Amino acid sequence: MNYAQLKDWIEASPRTVFFGGAGVSTESGIPDFRSENGIFKALEKYGRSPETLLSRTFFDLRPDVFFEYYRENLLITDVQPNQAHLALAKLEARGKLSAVITQNIDGLHQKAGSRHVLELHGSIRRNYCMKCGKRYGIEKLQQTEGIPRCECGGIIRPDVVLYEENLPMGVFEEAESEVRQADLLIVGGTSLAVYPAAGLLNYFRGSHLVLINKSETPYDSMADLVIHDPIGQVFAGMNI
Ligand code: ZN
């Protein structure tokens, strides 16, 4: 339907940036722990909300429970990039996309071949010792049980942003700068309800803002084009 308009803008734009949220990953089969079902499951099994379980306070207080929940719900690797990830990687390779900004931590954009990925919330693929700083891959968390420990005895934690923690400053500033310089900004798979996602849009000064999300967002009226379809379907439909 409206996909032709979007495709035209992508082809004509001198500088396109994509900004994606959880919806981009759920279409690859990654459950959204912030969804109603995700909240229900956390409350049922742990008696706590995902926001509590993934908070820095709780991590420090009960790392054993944190890692149990984390391994079950966030450490998911048996998934594949979908049509949206693949199309974005192709666009970058063709020089048509300057950056992917993502709130997801699963590394699926890189798996699809994207190189300039700004991960606002970090990545499950990177882990580090809180005591000596030694870095570890994802295997360390997959192959151990309980609280993962470094050789030095320190706790190995994922390089993901927990609730109560700040976003990685350098990454956020780079995202801001990419949005500011973009001519076409495509925002997908996010309801734009959570700070700082919504805040990033305020930096946009380009020609066309496109929102792709299954449900309405508070920014729909600001956009030049709104598509309420699954994002994988939209990118598949454009035949990029
Ligand atoms: Zn260490």
**pLDDT tens profile 124-180:** 999 999 999 999 999 999 999 999 999 999 999 999 999 999 998 899 999 999 999
Q: How far is the CA of 42 from the centre of ligand 1 (A)?
A: 30
Strands 16-20 and 99-102 turn out to be parallel
CA distances from 20 to 91, 103, 152 (A): 15, 6, 37
User: What residues does 210 pair with on adjacent strands?
Assistant: 186, 225
Query: Ligand 1 centroid vs 73 CA: distance in angstroms?
Result: 25
Interatomic CA distance for residues 184 and 202, integer angstroms? 14
Q: What is the mean pLDDT of the chain?
A: 95
Of 132, 123, 125, 124, nearest in space to 150 by CA: 132
Ion ligand 1 contact residues with beta carbon within 5 A = 129, 131-132, 134, 150, 152, 154
Residue 65 C-alpha to ligand 1 middle, in angstroms?
Answer: 21
For residue 183, how far is its CA from the centre of ligand 1 (angstroms)? Answer: 44
Considering only CA atoms, which of 115, 111, 81, 83 is closest in space to residue 98?
115
Q: What is the pLDDT of residue 240?
A: 87
Active site residues: 121
List the beta bridge partners of residue 128: 135, 157
